[in-house]
Structure 1
Amino acid sequence: MTDLTLALDAMGGDHGPHITVPATLQALRLYPFLKVILVGHQDQISPLLDGAEDDIRQRIVLIHTTEVVSMSDRPVHALRNRKQSSMRLAIELVRDGRAQACVSAGNTGALMAISKVLLKTLSGIDRPALVSCLPSVNGKPVYLLDLGANVSCCSETLFQFAVMGSVLSEAVDNNEQPKVALLNVGIEEIKGNDQVQQAGQLLQLTPQINYQGFIEGDDIYSGKVDVIVCDGFVGNITLKTSEGIAKLLVHQLKQGLTQGFFVRLMAKLIAPRINSVLNQMNPDHYNGASLIGLRGIVVKSHGSADEAAYLQAISLAVTEAQRRLPQMIEQRLESILLDINN
Structure 2
Amino acid sequence: MKIAIDAMGGDNAPKEIVLGVMKAAAQYKDVEFLLFGDEVKINEYLADKTRITIVHTDEKIESDDEPVRAVKRKKRASMVLAAQAVKDGEADACISAGNTGALMATGLFVVGRIKGIDRPALAPTLPTVTGKGFVMLDLGANSDAKPEHLLQFGLMGSVYAENVRKIEKPRVALLNIGTEEAKGNDLTKRAFELMKNQKAYHFVGNVEARDLMMDVADVIVTDGFTGNMVLKSIEGTAGAFFSLMKMSLLNGFKNKIAASFLKKDLMELKAKMDYSEYGGACLFGVQAPVIKAHGSSNANGIFTTIRQARDMVEKQVVETIKSEVASGHLRAEAEEANQGGTNNE
Into which bin does the TM-score normalised by the smaller protein fall?
Answer: over 0.9
TM-score using structure 2 length: 0.92
For 2:322 and 2:154, locate their aligned partners in 1 and report how far apart those are by CA, in whole Å.
13
* 1:298 aligned to which of 256, 279, 290: 290
Match of 1:31 in 2: 28
The structure 2 residue matched to 1:337, chosen from 330, 337, 342, is 330
Cα distance in 1 for partners of 2:278, 2:166 equals: 18
1:338: how far off? 7.6
- 1:104 corresponds in structure 2 to 96
C-alpha distance in structure 2 between counterparts of 1:248 and 1:27, whole Å: 33
Runs of 4+ in structure 1 off by over 6 angstroms are: none
1:93 is matched with which residue?
85
Q: 1 CA distance for matches of 2:209 and 2:74?
A: 39
Q: How far off is 1:79 after superposition?
A: 2.4
Q: Deviations over 1:282-315 (max 9, x none)?
A: 3432341000111111000121222222222222
CA contact 2:127–2:275 (8 Å) conserved in 1: no
Correspondence for 1:40 among 30, 37, 48? 37
User: What is the aligned counterpart of 2:212 among 204, 213, 220?
Assistant: 220
Q: Which amino acid aligns with 1:290?
A: C
Task: Verify: 1:181 aligned to 2:198, yes or no.
Answer: no
Cα distance in 1 for partners of 2:223, 2:182 equals: 19
Residue 229 of structure 1 pairs with residue 221 of structure 2: yes
Q: 2:134 aligns with which of 131, 139, 142?
A: 142
How many angstroms does 1:209 deviate by? 1.8
Percent of aligned positions that are identical: 38
Q: Secondary structure at the match of 2:213?
A: coil
Work out the number of aligned pairs and report it. Answer: 334
**For 2:325 and 2:170, how far apart are their aligned partners in 1?**
15
1:193-342 equivalent positions in 2, closer than 5 A? 193-335=185-327, 336-337=329-330, 340=333
Q: Distance in 2 between matches of 1:236 and 1:163?
A: 20
Indicate which of 14, 22, 35 corresponds to 2:19.
22
Q: Find the aligned partners of 1:285 and 1:252 in 2 and give their Cα distance.
A: 23
Larger displacement relative to structure 2 (136-145 or 57-66)? 136-145
Q: How does 1:52-63 map to 2 (within 5 A)?
A: 52=47, 56-63=48-55
- Alpha carbons of 1:90 and 1:57: their partners in 2 closer, same or farther (altered >3 Å)? same
Question: For each residue in 1:74-114, what CA deviation from the matched residue of structure 2 results, as whole angstroms up to 9, or x when unmatched?
Answer: 12212220101000000011111111110001111111112
Coordinate RMSD, CA, aligned: 1.8
User: Which deviates the most, 282-291 or 313-322?
Assistant: 282-291
| 1:13-45 deviation per Cα after TM superposition (whole angstroms, max 9, x unaligned) | 122202211111111122222211100011211
Distance in 1, matches of 2:4 and 2:36, equals 7
Contact 1:93 1:99 in 2 (8 A): yes
Structure 1 unaligned spans of 5+: none
Distance 2:52 2:279 in 1: 23
Per-residue CA distance 1:190-226 (angstroms, 9 max, x = gap): 2212111111101111123211111110011110111
The DSSP-based 3-state class of the residue aligned with 1:57 is coil
8 Å contact from structure 2 (residues 131, 272) kept in 1: no
Answer with 280-289 or 101-110: which moved more.
280-289
Aligned partner of 1:26: which letter? K
Contact 1:167 1:328 survives alignment (8 Å):
yes
Looking at structure 2, the residues matched to 267 and 235 of structure 1 have their Cα atoms a distance apart, in angstroms, of 35
| Deviating more after overlay: 260-269 vs 319-328 | 260-269
1:154 is matched with which residue? Answer: 146
3-state SS of 2:260 partner = helix
Are 2:57 and 2:78, in contact at CA under 8 Å, matched by a contact in 1?
A: yes
Give, as a single letter, the amino acid of the residue that structure 1 aligns with 2:312. E
5+ residue gaps, structure 2, are: 337-345
Query: What secondary structure is seen at the aligned counterpart in 1 of 2:124?
Result: strand
> 8 Å contact 1:74–1:110 — kept in the other structure?
yes
Correspondence for 1:130 among 118, 122, 129: 122
- 1:169 Cα deviation (Å)? 0.6
Which amino acid in 2 is paired with 1:132? Answer: P
> Does structure 2 conserve the Cα–Cα contact (< 8 Å) formed by 1:246 and 1:283?
no
The alignment's TM-score, normalised by the length of structure 1, stands at: 0.92
CA distance, structure 2, for counterparts of residue 148 and residue 33 of structure 1: 33
2:138–2:222 CA contact under 8 A, matched in 1: yes
